[in-house]
Amino acid sequence: MLPRPNPYETRKKQLEIAAHLINLHPNTIEYLKRVERSLIVSIPIIMDDGSLKIYEGYRVHHSTLRGPAKGGVRYMPDLTLDDIKALAFLMTFRNALLGIPLGGSKGGVRVDVKSLSKKELERLTRRYTAEIINMIGPDIDILAPDVNTNEETMAWMMDVYSMQKGRSVPSVAVGKPLEIGGTVGQDEAAGRGMYYILQALSEKLSFDIKPLHIVIQGFGKVGSVIAKILYEQGCKILAVTDSTGGIYAEKGLEITNTVLKWKQEGKQFKDFKADGIKYITIPDIFNIKCDILIPAAIENQITSKNVDNINCKIIFEGADGPITSKADKVLNEKGIIVVPDILANSGALIVSYFEYIQSIHAYFWDLERVNREMKTILLEAFEKVWNLSKNQNCSLRNAAYMIAISNVAKSHELRGLFP
């Protein structure tokens, strides 16, 4: 079995391509390819049966040139340090593209959360937070939820940090429950932001959203939301998957009252049965002809092995890094438009930034303001990326990175090197 592609190497390759397009100085390229600091920690916890287990955790700061770092925490059984480096890297340039004055970080624990009880999960989270506490803080590095973490996880993390500081510090984490400083709109932000970009893209390319045929890999925080929005707009959702497999219907799935309800009840797609609906494996999702493909699960899903099977017009990267650099080149040659992760799923980042601001000022916004301001930031970024892509005759990904890298490089140039 071949090793999976290294996501950190993919990110560095993307940087090099875009950096050369803007004639960035080799010294700056070398500087931006490295992370500022990495921490590996051991996380010992007592299990419910009294035994001791020790897990490995990570926290990485890629860059704090433009402000405090910010990034999620994910729990996955095959997580590596390079995974975390790649995600921190992405956060740096995503913030720069959007004009948000923050840097990039990421963290996580190598653990299968399905094997833990709730109490074990809480002990793991609290110990992990304590181990990385010197690397985090409102003016250092802000925590956020990611794969297999949620608002409850953030509440535990905020509590550990606050207890160490002797006062409540809600701005150390975002994605929190509303009752302790969370913000409205966070749950749907990534999917709703993706829809705003799709609207803008439809205007640029003069197509109607309503008759589109959609395929979605992943039905979590991003996939389920964009599926519901597009279904309500009249799109035909042909297929969706979760971690167990997927379901396909030639005439389209009923999302709102059937598929969403099934998942909200904690059920898996492998057990879903209904007339006109066919079970598919996760790899099958990439063989289905459609207008828009949305990979919204995890990284490295579209690779050189399956890219030739992709038959769509547009790909929206709902996950971080779902396409490898080799596959990306093939998609570009095939004329498939890829709206890159750095832009496509940035709604959640923007709204979490709003939460950070609101927590600091203890003044909270209503949903209308959150969505309005999120849409403004996203569409300004999209317009810049689209225009540069057309002017330079390059992919949206390269255009996005050219803008982001220029912004980070300028910060590096202005600050210089210490000492």
| pLDDT bucket at 299, cuts 50 / 70 / 90 | confident
Is the pLDDT confidence value at 390 over 90?
yes
Is the pLDDT confidence value at 325 over 90?
no
* Mean pLDDT (whole number) for 88-105: 96
What domains, with CATH codes, occur in the chain?
35-171 (3.40.50.10860), 189-344 (3.40.50.720)
Each residue of 159-181: pLDDT tens digit? Answer: 999 999 999 999 999 999 999 99
Is the pLDDT confidence value at 261 over 60?
yes
C-alpha span between 296 and 394 (Å, rounded): 24
Give the β-pairing of 278-280 and 292-295. Answer: unpaired
pLDDT computed for residue 366 by the predictor: 97
Each residue of 398-415: pLDDT tens digit? Answer: 999 999 999 999 999 999
Is the pLDDT confidence value at 1 over 60?
no
Catalytic residue among 12, 70, 85, 106: 106
Q: For all residues of the chain together, what is the average pLDDT?
A: 95
Is the pLDDT confidence value at 14 over 90?
no
* Mean pLDDT (whole number) for 61-77: 97
pLDDT computed for residue 72 by the predictor: 96
pLDDT computed for residue 171 by the predictor: 97
* Mean pLDDT (whole number) for 322-328: 91
Each residue of 111-123: pLDDT tens digit? Answer: 999 999 999 999 9
Each residue of 366-389: pLDDT tens digit? Answer: 999 999 999 999 999 999 999 999
pLDDT computed for residue 178 by the predictor: 95
Sheet containing 314-316, strands listed edge to edge, beginning at the edge strand earlier in sequence? 278-280, 245-248, 236-242, 213-217, 292-295, 314-316, 337-339
Reference 93, options 32, 147, 30, 137; nearest CA is: 32
Reference 288, options 350, 214, 376; nearest CA is: 214
Each residue of 211-257: pLDDT tens digit? Answer: 999 999 999 989 999 999 999 999 999 999 998 899 999 999 999 99
Question: Residue 270 burial by CB count (10 A; 0-12/13-18/19+): exposed, middle or buried?
Answer: middle
Is the pLDDT confidence value at 110 over 90?
yes
| pLDDT bucket at 2, cuts 50 / 70 / 90 | low
- 329 noted as active-site residue: no
Reference 84, options 110, 64, 111, 102; nearest CA is: 110
Is the pLDDT confidence value at 74 over 60?
yes
For tokens 């996203």, name the residue.
Answer: 378
Query: What is the value of pTM for the model shown?
Result: 0.92
C-alpha span between 131 and 256 (Å, rounded): 42
Each residue of 262-273: pLDDT tens digit? Answer: 999 989 999 998
Instruction: Give 390's contacts (C-beta < 8 A, 6+ positions apart).
Output: none
